[in-house]
């Protein structure tokens, strides 16, 4: 019986999926463990990084570590709708508090009694349901921030009852959280003020705030309150080292060999293709295993990756944002991607205006860059400087324009042949160099 029919592909290239092997990030985990062991919380955690860098996966590892250290984990993914107003943000937090404490206290009661706690209304062990938390919030005096602080302050006894060290409030996709001064709504400010107030109050349970999001979230935080720079330790996730990338890629694959076989040269090639980006490790890993299964368990080095693999990569990482751009914006993206100093991760409007083929002034370039920020293709790294939100966007942009040029050239050639009549064409011979260009991700 062919064992290949029963092989399950272990790689998971979706957004935020836990990889089969977690590699690297030891320094980040070690620092978070130190934060958990603070006697008084004086530092919180902000995790930033480009898309596909593994922020959500790292947050999942932090949760496991926090719960192992005896902390209650309360968190969720933020959305634009949750940050429309202070009341909506409070509702998001109260919902997560209800779910998190119910889970923890139920587990505590089961561990202590070997059974679920009674659900009588007068049973002090029953976790507060959402309705009770919301009623407490509505009846508290003051502004939404005062009401939320009042509710969270009263949860200390419940946390102590569960014999927990404290509460970790963790929110991913934090770039969705904004203040809206034009509508007098300040949900981000409310979250920061509430946590800061609780951390200064020695009479409540210890709490720690963990935020994760795209790099622009740091600017939003510092613009909200000047003291936020002192509240957070910032971790900017970068690519994995080559040894870490090799471990993340090879560890799941080694469990499948045999019956699959991947030549060492093919493995080295795929690891180089990933560039150390966690998402690309999962993407190319899944594609390689699928191709091995389709080809009897063996694959030549030159057979991977195929053009269809690269097309799927572009579609998954880049196409949605690219399709929202105008022709003018695409021309500017081409200028950015082909700028002379691509070794620098960021660029300015002046850099674009000074490119030889550019017909833009600095003011015009600034307007286009701001529009591209709104479409999620770039973000502001600091005052007047920008960078791409998706890894290796320059490569994908240039490849798209190159593909368009090839299609247009092919169309013109076909039109010329049709007008000139049938002409026998010499058979094209693909050189080794052209083969290498066809699969190379970094070109």
d(CA 277, CA 299): 23
Short-list 293, 324, 302, 292, CA closest to 389: 324
pLDDT at position 288: 93
Structure-model confidence comparison of residues 74 and 390, the more confident one: 74
> Given the DSSP bridges, would you call strands 166-172 and 71-77 parallel, antiparallel or unpaired?
parallel
pLDDT band at 423 (very low <50, low <70, confident <90, very high): very low
| Torsion sign, CA atoms 85, 88, 90, 92 | negative
Average pLDDT estimate for 270-284 = 90
Short-list 207, 239, 10, 214, CA closest to 96: 207
Average pLDDT estimate for 124-133 = 67
Strand, helix or coil for residue 347:
strand
Whether 56 has a pLDDT exceeding 50, the answer reads yes
Whether 436 has a pLDDT exceeding 50, the answer reads no
Q: Which two tokens stand for residue 319?
A: 């196409």
Contact of 337 with 372, CB cutoff 8 Å: no
Strand, helix or coil for residue 336:
helix
Short-list 309, 277, 212, 312, CA closest to 52: 277
Average pLDDT estimate for 346-353 = 86
pLDDT at position 81: 87
Structure-model confidence comparison of residues 119 and 418, the more confident one: 418
Whether 318 has a pLDDT exceeding 50, the answer reads yes
Average pLDDT estimate for 329-335 = 88
Strand order across the beta sheet in which 71-77 lies: 71-77, 166-172, 207-213, 44-48, 232-236
CB-side neighbour CA atoms (13 Å) of 359: 3
pLDDT band at 170 (very low <50, low <70, confident <90, very high): very high
Average pLDDT estimate for 328-355 = 83
- Residue 37 backbone dihedrals phi, psi, to 5 degrees: -100, 15
DSSP character string of 125-157: TSPPPHHHHHHHHHHS-SSHHHHHHHHHHTTHH
- 219-230: pLDDT as tens digits: 788 777 666 777
pLDDT band at 107 (very low <50, low <70, confident <90, very high): low
Average pLDDT estimate for 188-198 = 90
pLDDT at position 218: 82
DSSP character string of 183-237: GTB-HHHHHHHHHHHHHH-TTS--EEEEEEE-THHHHHHHHH-TTHHHHEEEEE-
Please, is 68 exposed, middle or buried when counting C-beta atoms within 10 Å of its C-beta (0-12, 13-18, 19+)? exposed
Residues in CB range of 431: below 8 A, 6 or more apart? none
d(CA 95, CA 134): 9
Average pLDDT estimate for 340-366 = 82
Short-list 188, 220, 222, 168, CA closest to 32: 168
d(CA 12, CA 404): 31
d(CA 336, CA 351): 9
What string of H, E and C letters represents the secondary structure of 246-288?
HHHHHHHHHCCCCCCECCHHHHHHHHHHHCCCHHHHHHHHHHH
Average pLDDT estimate for 368-386 = 84
pLDDT band at 7 (very low <50, low <70, confident <90, very high): confident
Percent pLDDT > 90 in the chain is 27
pLDDT at position 352: 86
Whether 115 has a pLDDT exceeding 60, the answer reads no
- 200-221: pLDDT as tens digits: 887 778 889 999 998 888 878 8
Q: Which two tokens stand for residue 322?
A: 């690219």
Q: Where are the alpha helices (DSSP H) in 327-392?
A: 327-337, 349-353, 362-374
């Amino acid at each position: 019986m062919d064992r290949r029919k029963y092989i399950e592909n272990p790689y998971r290239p979706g957004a935020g999926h836990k990889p089969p092997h977690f590699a690297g990030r030891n320094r980040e985990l070690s620092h978070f463990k130190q934060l958990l062991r603070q006697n008084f919380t004086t530092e919180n955690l902000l995790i930033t990084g480009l898309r596909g860098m593994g922020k959500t996966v790292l947050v999942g590892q932090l949760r496991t570590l926090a719960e192992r250290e005896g902390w209650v984990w309360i968190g969720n993914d933020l959305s634009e709708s949750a940050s429309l107003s202070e009341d909506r943000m409070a509702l998001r937090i109260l919902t997560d508090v209800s779910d998190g404490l119910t889970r923890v206290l139920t587990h505590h009661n089961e561990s202590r009694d070997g059974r679920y706690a009674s659900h009588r209304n007068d049973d002090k062990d029953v976790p507060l349901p959402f309705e009770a938390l919301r009623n407490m919030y509505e009846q508290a005096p003051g502004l939404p921030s005062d009401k939320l602080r009042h509710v969270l302050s009263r949860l200390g006894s419940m946390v102590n009852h569960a014999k927990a060290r404290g509460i970790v409030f963790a929110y991913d996709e934090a770039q969705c959280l904004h203040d809206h001064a034009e509508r007098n709504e300040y949900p981000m400010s409310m979250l920061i003020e509430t946590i800061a107030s609780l951390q200064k109050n020695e009479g409540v349970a210890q709490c720690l705030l963990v935020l994760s999001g795209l790099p622009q979230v740091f600017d939003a935080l510092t613009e909200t309150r000047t003291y936020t720079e002192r509240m957070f330790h910032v971790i900017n996730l970068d690519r994995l080292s080559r040894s870490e990338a090799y471990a993340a890629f090879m560890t799941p694959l080694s469990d499948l060999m045999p019956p699959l076989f991947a030549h060492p040269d093919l493995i080295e090639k795929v690891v180089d293709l990933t560039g150390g980006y966690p998402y690309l490790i999962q993407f190319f890993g899944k594609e390689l295993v699928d191709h091995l299964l389709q080809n009897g368990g063996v694959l030549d080095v030159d057979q991977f990756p195929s053009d269809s693999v690269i097309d799927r990569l572009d579609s998954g990482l880049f196409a949605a944002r690219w399709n929202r751009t105008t022709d003018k914006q695409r021309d500017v993206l081409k200028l950015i991607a082909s700028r002379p100093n691509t070794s620098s991760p960021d660029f300015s409007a002046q850099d674009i205006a000074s490119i030889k083929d550019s017909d833009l002034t600095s003011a015009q370039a600034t307007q286009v860059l701001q529009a591209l920020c709104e479409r999620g293709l770039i973000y502001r790294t600091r005052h007047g400087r920008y960078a791409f939100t998706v890894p290796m966007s320059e490569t994908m942009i240039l490849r798209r324009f190159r593909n368009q040029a090839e299609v247009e050239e092919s169309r013109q050639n076909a039109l010329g042949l049709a007008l000139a009549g049938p002409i026998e064409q010499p058979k094209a011979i693909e050189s080794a160099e052209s083969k290498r260009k066809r699969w190379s991700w970094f070109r």
